[in-house]
Structure 1
Amino acid sequence: MSAPKGVPDYVPPASAGFEHVRDTLQAAAARAGYGLVELPVFEDTALFARGVGESTDVVSKEMYTFADRGDRSVTLRPEGTAGVVRAVIEHGLDRAGLPAKLRYAGPFFRYERPQAGRYRQLQQVGIEAIGVDDPALDAEVIAVADEGFSALGLTGYRLEITSLGDAECRPAYSELLREFLAGLPLDEPTRARARLNPLRVLDDKRPEVRAMVADAPLLVDHLSAAAAEHHAAVLAHLDALGVAYVPNPRMVRGLDYYTKTTFEFVHDGLGAQSGIGGGGHYDGLMATLGGQPLPGVGFGLGVDRTLLACRAEGLAPWSEARCEVFGVPLGQAATAELVTVAAALRRGGVRVDLAYGGRGLKGAMKAADRSGARLALVLGERDLAAGTIGVKDMAGGEQESVALADVVAVVRDRLG
Structure 2
Amino acid sequence: MSIQIPRGTQDILPGTVELWQYIETQAREICRRYNYKEIRTPIFEHTELFLRSVGDTTDIVQKEMYTFTDRGERSLTLRPEGTAAVVRSYVEHKMYGDAAQPTKLFYIGPMFRYERPQSGRYRQFVQFGIEALGSNDPAIDAEVIALAMEFYKSLGLKHVKLVLNSLGDQESRKAHREALVNHFAPRIHEFCSDCQARLEKNPLRILDCKKDRGHELMSTAPSITEYLNEGSQQYYEKVQQLLTMMNIPFEKDPNLVRGLDYYQHTVFEIMSEAEGFGAITTLSGGGRYNGLVQEVGGPETPGIGFALSIERLLMALEAESITLPVSQSIDCYVVALGEQAKDYAAKLVFELRKAGVTAEKDYLDRKVKAQFKAADRVQAKYVAVLGENELERSVINIKDMSTGEQEEAALDTFVSYVAEKVL
- Fold shared, TM-score > 0.5 on shorter chain: yes
Q: Deviations over 1:278-309 (max 9, x none)?
A: 11111000000000110111111110110111
**2 CA distance for matches of 1:88 and 1:330?**
60
**3-state secondary structure, aligned to 1:168:** helix
Is the contact made by 1:331 and 1:358 (CA closer than 8 Å) also made in structure 2?
no
1:123 paired residue number: 126
2:201 maps to a residue whose letter is: L
Per the normalisation by structure 1, the TM-score is: 0.95
For the pair 1:256 / 2:258, whether they are aligned, the reply is no
Is the contact made by 1:39 and 1:84 (CA closer than 8 Å) also made in structure 2?
yes
Kindly state the Cα deviation for residue 383 of structure 1 after the two structures are TM-superposed. Answer: 2.1
In structure 2, do the counterparts of structure 1 residues 179 and 367 end up closer, same or farther at CA, with 3 Å as the change threshold? same
Aligned match of 1:110 in 99, 113, 122? Answer: 113
In structure 2, do the counterparts of structure 1 residues 106 and 319 end up closer, same or farther at CA, with 3 Å as the change threshold? same
Aligned match of 1:357 in 358, 361, 364? Answer: 364
For the pair 1:369 / 2:371, whether they are aligned, the reply is no
Gaps of 5+ in 1: none
Is the contact made by 1:34 and 1:101 (CA closer than 8 Å) also made in structure 2?
yes
Question: Which stretch shows the higher mean deviation, 49-58 or 318-327?
Answer: 318-327
Aligned match of 1:216 in 200, 212, 221? Answer: 221
In structure 2, do the counterparts of structure 1 residues 331 and 33 end up closer, same or farther at CA, with 3 Å as the change threshold? farther
Equivalent residues in 2 for 1:268-307, closer than 5 Å: 268-269=273-274, 270-307=277-314
In structure 2, do the counterparts of structure 1 residues 195 and 392 end up closer, same or farther at CA, with 3 Å as the change threshold? farther
Equivalent residues in 2 for 1:75-154, closer than 5 Å: 75-96=77-98, 97-154=100-157
In structure 2, do the counterparts of structure 1 residues 403 and 91 end up closer, same or farther at CA, with 3 Å as the change threshold? same
Kindly state the Cα deviation for residue 41 of structure 1 after the two structures are TM-superposed. Answer: 0.6
Aligned match of 1:397 in 404, 415, 423? Answer: 404
Kindly state the Cα deviation for residue 332 of structure 1 after the two structures are TM-superposed. Answer: 4.4
Number of aligned positions between the proteins: 416
Q: Deviations over 1:57-113 (max 9, x none)?
A: 011000000111111110110000000000111111111021111111111000010
Gaps of 5+ in 2: none
Q: Matched residues, percent identical?
A: 41
1:168 paired residue number: 171
Aligned match of 1:35 in 28, 34, 37? Answer: 37
2:288 maps to a residue whose letter is: H
Aligned match of 1:191 in 196, 200, 208? Answer: 196
**2 CA distance for matches of 1:244 and 1:342?**
52
Per the normalisation by structure 2, the TM-score is: 0.93
2:34 maps to a residue whose letter is: A
**2 CA distance for matches of 1:350 and 1:193?**
60
In structure 2, do the counterparts of structure 1 residues 301 and 362 end up closer, same or farther at CA, with 3 Å as the change threshold? same
2:79 maps to a residue whose letter is: R
Kindly state the Cα deviation for residue 187 of structure 1 after the two structures are TM-superposed. Answer: 3.6
**2 CA distance for matches of 1:403 and 1:146?**
52
Question: Which stretch shows the higher mean deviation, 12-21 or 169-178?
Answer: 12-21
Kindly state the Cα deviation for residue 11 of structure 1 after the two structures are TM-superposed. Answer: 0.4
Kindly state the Cα deviation for residue 397 of structure 1 after the two structures are TM-superposed. Answer: 3.0
In structure 2, do the counterparts of structure 1 residues 192 and 259 end up closer, same or farther at CA, with 3 Å as the change threshold? same
In structure 2, do the counterparts of structure 1 residues 284 and 355 end up closer, same or farther at CA, with 3 Å as the change threshold? same
**2 CA distance for matches of 1:408 and 1:330?**
19
Is the contact made by 1:259 and 1:283 (CA closer than 8 Å) also made in structure 2?
yes
In structure 2, do the counterparts of structure 1 residues 20 and 211 end up closer, same or farther at CA, with 3 Å as the change threshold? farther
Is the contact made by 1:231 and 1:260 (CA closer than 8 Å) also made in structure 2?
yes
2:279 maps to a residue whose letter is: A
Kindly state the Cα deviation for residue 7 of structure 1 after the two structures are TM-superposed. Answer: 0.6
1:75 maps to a residue whose letter is: T
